[in-house]
Structure 1
Amino acid sequence: MSKLTQQQKTEQTLSLTPAQIQAIKILELTGLELASRIEHELEENPALEEDYEQPTLETSSEEGENDTNDQDWELGEYASEDDIPEYKLRELQERQSVREEIPFASGAPSLDEQLMSQLSLVTPLTDRRREVARYIIGNINEDGYLTRSVEELQDDLLFKAGLDVSADELTELIRLIKTLDPAGIAAHDLQEALLLQIERLPSDELKPLVERMVRAHYDDFVNKRFDKLCVALSVSEERLAELYDYVGRLNPKPGNGFGDDSDARFAHFTPDFIVTERSGELLISLAEERDLPALRLSPTYLLMLEENKAKAKENRQSREAMTFLKHKVEQARWFIDALAQRQHTLRATMTAIVAHQRAFFLSGEVTDLRPMILRDIAEATGLDISTISRVSNSKSVQTDFGVYMLKFFFGEGMLNDEGESISTREIKKALSELIEGEDKRAPYSDERLTELLAERGYPIARRTVAKYREQLRLPVARLRKALRPAK
């Protein structure tokens, strides 16, 4: 029989403080989310307030006009004019002309709203029926598909909304939604989406054959088994090519073009960084900086804290008040420090990325991208790899050539025959060009693509070619085959 024993041991563990956790969460926020978070903190914590009296940097543009609004971020509660490097002073003069907000489907009604509006015209909607319909429509994904089953929707409505809805009622509402525009909406899969669209098209000699091909021979259709389809449909290759062209005009993603929610569709998308070129020099700015208020600890609360500290030994009420005030002040200080740390982290990360990928930011050519991994930027900034990963996965930059997610600039590399370092993105671009220019009647196999890439100076293995092709979402040669050249 085993004995119960008690023993002591010493071990090291790594844990995050509340301040560190808060800093990580704030780092991952978008500009809009951060503005909302600051507003929330100002409402919840009276020890935190906007610093309306914060000094601004006295620097003039070439025309002699001061731009104080763009300078608030430079000073803050812990900085002075002498702390600001010269390149940042120049950047302040440029920022007003380069900062832009990019509209994202501004004013467009949401897909949910359009469907609910159409549905109310084809069937009476009681409050209960409207709620059920709204829940069904809310489960349609961004591509326009309703992949959840009737049973799953029943369970969700019962447990989440407290509505006991019969399978027949759900099935009928789904059937009605499928009759709405855009055609193919709420289909369970691609096959059903195509059939729903085909049903609405005007009748012609091709329509019966196309519907038969998609409905009865879908597997052969998607796998491009041309010989089998010609026999099954009793058509020539020329007629089969016409059938494929017919299907090619349909929309495989009926919900495409609509955002995930109405808020996103009415919002403005603002990149986190703006990088512009001026006379060969790259200027970096944080897009959010001019819109975020400067914060400080409330002088009133600090005075109250000092007063209660002096009285803490005298009575219990003062001790409790001191504890409360100290907690609020500490929370406010953590928040201000977290914002300052966020600004430092974002700027340091973007500066390192621009320095590493300078050639791309000047030309906009993918071939100018250098191999770069998270460790490179971590070593350049002195930040942890996990921190660089969080920034690169959630932030974007507006350049003179478009808007990119920061993760776009990361990629491993290899050496070519001349010993030069080339990025995987450059290889992927070459691979994409080869596939785009191939004869679709006899597309290149992965083995042939490997040979052609080697001829271009990219000696990589066939399995690597296959991996890159899959990452580019390009199908295998058999599925790229066409009956006639693309027009």
Structure 2
Amino acid sequence: MLKQHLQFKLSQKLSPQQIQLMKLIQLPTQAFEQRLKQELEENPALESGKEEGELQQDEFEDIYDNETDSENISADDINIDEYLSDDEIPDYRTQINNYSSDDEEKNLPYAAGISFTQYLISQLNTVYLNDEEWAIAEFLVGSVDEGGYIRRPLSDIMDDLAFTQNIYTDEHTIERILHIVQDLDPAGVAARSLEECLIIQLKRKDATPSTRLALELLEKSFEQFTKKHYQKLLQKHNVSEEELKDAITEIERLNPKPGGSYSGNTRIVEHVVPDFSIRITEGELELSLNGRNAPELHVSREYNNMLEGYKNAKEKSKSQKDTVIFIKQKLDAAKWFIDAVRQRQQTLFVTMNAIMQYQKEYFLTGDERKLRPMILKDIADTIQMDVSTVSRVANSKYVDTPYGTKLIKEYFSESMKNEQGEDVSTKEIKKILETVIGEEAKRKPLTDDKLAAILKEKGYPIARRTVAKYREQLGIPVARLRKEI
């Protein structure tokens, strides 16, 4: 049985304009420029460049009712005069550079080159192989990953050759061809493991006592070598500490990722453009927003002329009325976009300024131990905005400081209390931990228990498991793997 009933519900919805603003806020400078370019291409009513006498932002405020459905608007409902201006400035006056004079225009050169795979194939051309051997070698080269390794078992490669290349062979033949591929440059390419990669490189070196011992270590005691059981190595190979040290030095000079050494690879390198800049002038911090985030935007002169033509027309056809409605929609979109761009500028500057003031002592000194504990809510409360807005700014923006260009979110950290009951940043504790490990005796590295004891002496009472967590976050191995002979 069907029933009708009324239900009252309070819900929160974002307008299209708010969604547009949120999307713009999270874009870094380069992505914002691409978005701006896209909007300029899609909306002919929007143009870049400063144009004196053009419609200004405040002139749009009361022109139209945004809640009215545009399909129900008739051309007569539109006050065309409010869209027009008396501007007579020629177009060439508007073609200017929007960047500030302080911004450098840096164009990165692009170097053309062949890929790593093509580089290996070109070397195979110098090796005599029959048709089947060439096909197998080419397939092996295609199986090399960007690190320079072949990670797949030869049995799988044999099956793939049969199914995809219609080549029926055995593992012995594939391994024979693999050794030919392993003779290519860079040394160590097409290895199936780190051990094999290092051994291939050592065999290409001139035979000396240290390289011979290094090769013996890798071939007979690789596991003990990786675990740094130096005493066992000294006894097993019957060598002195000095000889073992020289052999280890030879191994450390080898390249564990031969694929990364190819200078002609076409890997994309990201170019970071700072969104903000902080400078110290006479002991005070100065914040500036990259000028590329503050473009000059205005309504197209051509659209004004079209509206002017419609206004002066004595007879208004239906097609002309439809045109006016279309123009209004484009002007609305232009107005919303200009609004969003300006609000984006203001939000970025206000948020970064609050972060700069909160971490003022750090930005004045560059000492990471001066970083205060700071979470997103601290800044959100300061600028009276939502935490999600601060997150959008912090997660994708970079700031150029006297101490380098850094991602803004790196300045956020949780707090921990020291012995005096004061809140200190976990970044401060990590920095001290890194310093202590850097100054330890490498013959006898400090265990996590000893590190926890040292930190406690310095006034940071943290547990051993917390020390282990911070050490792993810093990318520092355990004491046994930090040991040096």
With structure 2 as the length reference, what TM-score do the two structures score? 0.72
Number of the residue aligned with 1:51: 49
- Displacement of 1:360 in angstroms is 1.3
> What letter corresponds to residue 361 of structure 1 in structure 2?
F
1:24 paired with 2:22, answer yes
* Equivalent of residue 277 in structure 2, options 274, 278, 282: 274
CA contact (8 A) 2:445 2:479 kept: yes
Number of the residue aligned with 1:470: 472
- Displacement of 1:247 in angstroms is 1.5
Number of the residue aligned with 1:390: 392
1:244 paired with 2:248, answer yes
Number of the residue aligned with 2:302: 300
CA contact (8 A) 1:119 1:176 kept: no
3-state SS in 2 of match to 1:214: helix
CA contact (8 A) 2:228 2:483 kept: yes
1:355-394 equivalences under 5 Å are 355-394=357-396
1:220 paired with 2:218, answer no
> What letter corresponds to residue 387 of structure 2 in structure 1?
I
Cα deviations by residue, 1:427-473 (Å, 9 ceiling, x for unpaired) = 11111111111112221111111110111121212221111111111
- Displacement of 1:164 in angstroms is 5.7
CA contact (8 A) 2:151 2:192 kept: yes
Alignment CA distance shift 1:40-1:239 (3 Å): same
> How many residues are treated as equivalent by the alignment?
430
Alignment CA distance shift 1:328-1:434 (3 Å): same
CA contact (8 A) 1:119 1:177 kept: no
1:135-154 equivalences under 5 Å are 140-141=145-146
Cα deviations by residue, 1:179-208 (Å, 9 ceiling, x for unpaired) = 555444565654444334334322223334
Equivalents in 1 of 2:165, 2:6: separation in Å? 58
1:86-485 equivalences under 5 Å are 96=101, 99=103, 109=111, 113=115, 116-117=118-119, 119-123=121-125, 140-141=145-146, 181-184=185-188, 190-215=194-219, 217-230=221-234, 233=237, 235-254=239-258, 262=266, 264-265=268-269, 269-287=272-290, 289-290=291-292, 293-301=295-303, 304=306, 317-318=319-320, 320-482=322-484, 484=485
CA contact (8 A) 1:115 1:180 kept: no
Cα deviations by residue, 1:202-241 (Å, 9 ceiling, x for unpaired) = 2223334433433554333322233444455454554433
- Percent sequence identity is 38
CA contact (8 A) 2:276 2:400 kept: yes
Equivalents in 2 of 1:382, 1:48: separation in Å? 32
Equivalents in 1 of 2:125, 2:371: separation in Å? 56
3-state SS in 2 of match to 1:350: helix
3-state SS in 2 of match to 1:206: helix
Equivalents in 2 of 1:428, 1:45: separation in Å? 50
- Displacement of 1:316 in angstroms is 5.1
CA contact (8 A) 1:54 1:294 kept: no
> What letter corresponds to residue 46 of structure 2 in structure 1?
L
Equivalents in 2 of 1:250, 1:114: separation in Å? 20
Equivalents in 2 of 1:299, 1:167: separation in Å? 68
Equivalents in 2 of 1:423, 1:441: separation in Å? 31
CA contact (8 A) 1:76 1:294 kept: no
Cα deviations by residue, 1:5-54 (Å, 9 ceiling, x for unpaired) = 99997666655444344333333333223223322322222111123425
Equivalents in 1 of 2:445, 2:271: separation in Å? 42
> What letter corresponds to residue 355 of structure 2 in structure 1?
I
Cα deviations by residue, 1:323-370 (Å, 9 ceiling, x for unpaired) = 533443333333323322221222112101110111111111112211
Larger radius of gyration between Structure 1 and Structure 2: 2
Cα deviations by residue, 1:368-420 (Å, 9 ceiling, x for unpaired) = 21111111111122222222222222111111122211122111222322343
- Displacement of 1:304 in angstroms is 4.2
Q: Which moved more, 1:268-277 or 1:350-359?
A: 268-277
3-state SS in 1 of match to 2:462: coil
Alignment CA distance shift 1:433-1:347 (3 Å): same
Equivalents in 2 of 1:383, 1:153: separation in Å? 57
Equivalents in 2 of 1:4, 1:192: separation in Å? 76
Alignment CA distance shift 1:189-1:101 (3 Å): farther
Alignment CA distance shift 1:373-1:207 (3 Å): same
Q: Which moved more, 1:464-473 or 1:407-416?
A: 407-416
Q: Which has the higher contact order (CA 8 A, sep 6+)?
A: 2
Equivalents in 2 of 1:473, 1:309: separation in Å? 70
Cα deviations by residue, 1:95-148 (Å, 9 ceiling, x for unpaired) = 856x55789xx6585785466356435428xxxx9xx9899889844x666768
CA contact (8 A) 2:143 2:150 kept: no
> What letter corresponds to residue 357 of structure 2 in structure 1?
A
Equivalents in 2 of 1:306, 1:433: separation in Å? 71
Alignment CA distance shift 1:182-1:305 (3 Å): farther
Cα deviations by residue, 1:72-92 (Å, 9 ceiling, x for unpaired) = xxx995489xxxxxxxxxxxx
Number of the residue aligned with 2:70: none
CA contact (8 A) 1:50 1:295 kept: yes
With structure 1 as the length reference, what TM-score do the two structures score? 0.71
Alignment CA distance shift 1:260-1:459 (3 Å): farther
Number of the residue aligned with 2:66: none
Q: Which moved more, 1:351-360 or 1:243-252?
A: 243-252
Alignment CA distance shift 1:29-1:110 (3 Å): farther
